[in-house]
Amino acid sequence: MSQSNTIDFWFTVGSTYTYLTASRLHQVEAATGLRFRWRPFNAREIMQEMNNIPFATKPIKLAYMWRDIERRASKYGLPIKVPIPYPLKNFDLASRVAVLGEIEGWCADYVRISYRRWFVEGKEVGTEPNLSESLSEVGQDKNRVLQAANTERVGRAYDDNTSEARRLNIFGAPTFVVRGECFWGDDRLEDAIAWHARATLKPI
Amino acid sequence: MSQSNTIDFWFTVGSTYTYLTASRLHQVEAATGLRFRWRPFNAREIMQEMNNIPFATKPIKLAYMWRDIERRASKYGLPIKVPIPYPLKNFDLASRVAVLGEIEGWCADYVRISYRRWFVEGKEVGTEPNLSESLSEVGQDKNRVLQAANTERVGRAYDDNTSEARRLNIFGAPTFVVRGECFWGDDRLEDAIAWHARATLKPI
């Protein structure tokens, strides 16, 4: 259940724009008093169902995306070093580790620091050496995590998250959900926060 | 040629998010001292070339788009009355009238007020009674405009604009161009303005 000061942050490990969000949410929490609940789900699966292929077959749009992310990172004061390896080779493992983190309580820190290694040091999430380095930084044993991440329990939790996202009509990552209202994209975070504060359309 | 205080505003009559931009640019100009050069082009043609179909085949994303536009309009204090007839029946004519307006100097006013009739009164751009009412409001004779809009000269100007957009790697509308740098989407207008002011990435 969402608490009154909580916004759900739905994301997919592997989504590029999620770097911007994952890297600044802790600052947003400090500035606003809000809490974000990190919900990893499989946006790729939902997008495939919808035949929603925003970039892979569209090189001009893909080039724009990287430039846009670079500019937005600069705007937020976030480091970034392009080109960035993409897409993730170990997409499923990367996601499952985040789901385990959600269950065990270290998801936000792990995702934030593993994304930074990906976007600044060029080390892919879900792949060595990012896995060992990032898990170590959040105090988790890599061998235990890899074993646990591949259990049926974690797979079911991941599927359940994706099903819940589907029910909420989420079609991409990141998405913020405030009382059932979806805000898609890092660039809608401020709209989601404003919605949380008033929860209505402003009268004209 | 762009002048130093000018940002190019590339748009397509028929693009939904363009309502937000077309309706607020005059206020942005007054607040910033910038000038926007209105450049109508055929985003639909470029998107078809790229097999970029963001909404037509994606009902959940389409529903989100309308809700997002409704919320953004509220944020900007712009009136809107959903549902809005979409897509335009007379897409080509709507575009050609805007191109004629670009040539003759009444494009911005015409597009702004015809979009408002579309998004507030449900009267499609490029269709009666919007055509007569909006052209009359900008002091243009409808019969003359319809004849001129269908000339080869206007068709060529429209194609030339679309070719120029393609060369600039524009892939959607609205797009702002500042010294060759593209900013796609009404929600990137503020980034384009900031870029105009500094024209570099902020050092980290």
Between CA A122 and CA A103 the distance in angstroms is 27
Give domain status of residue A143, yes or no.
yes
Q: Among residues of chain A, what percentage have pLDDT more than 90?
A: 88
Q: Which of B52, B58, B204 sits opposite A61 (nearest CB)?
A: B52
Q: Among residues of chain A, what percentage have pLDDT more than 70?
A: 96
pLDDT over threshold 90, residue A203: no
Q: Which of A50, A57, A70 sits opposite B60 (nearest CB)?
A: A50
Q: How many domains does chain B have?
A: 1
Q: Among residues of chain B, what percentage have pLDDT more than 70?
A: 96
Q: Residues A28-48: pLDDT tens digits?
A: 999 999 999 999 999 999 988
Give domain status of residue B51, yes or no.
yes
Residue A75: closest C-alpha in chain B:
B202
pLDDT over threshold 90, residue A125: yes
Query: Do the chains contact at A50 and B64, CB–CB below 8 Å?
Result: no
Mean pLDDT of B124-141: 98
Give domain status of residue A1, yes or no.
no
CATH number at residue B27: 3.40.30.10
| HEC string for A98-113 | HHHHHHHCCHHHHHHH
Instruction: Give the per-residue pLDDT at A2.
Output: 46
Give domain status of residue A151, yes or no.
yes
Helix (H) or strand (E) holding B176: strand B175-178
Give domain status of residue B204, yes or no.
no
Q: Which residues 158-187 in chain A show a CB within 8 A of chain B?
A: 169, 171, 181-184, 187
Query: Do the chains contact at A202 and B77, CB–CB below 8 Å?
Result: yes
Contacts of A183 in chain B (CB under 8 A): 68
C-alpha to C-alpha distances, B97 to A191, B16, B68, B70, B171, nearest whole angstrom: 35, 18, 28, 26, 22
Tokens of A176: 């913020």
Give domain status of residue A204, yes or no.
no
Contacts of A77 in chain B (CB under 8 A): 202, 204
Contacts of B184 in chain A (CB under 8 A): 64, 68
For residue B56, the enclosing domain spans 6-198
Tell me how close the Cα of B144 comes to any Cα of chain A, in angstroms: 36
Chain center to CA of B78: 16
Between CA A113 and CA B27 the distance in angstroms is 41
Computed from CA positions of residues B68, B73, B75, B79, in that sequence, does the dihedral angle turn out positive or negative? negative
Give domain status of residue B1, yes or no.
no
Give domain status of residue A203, yes or no.
no
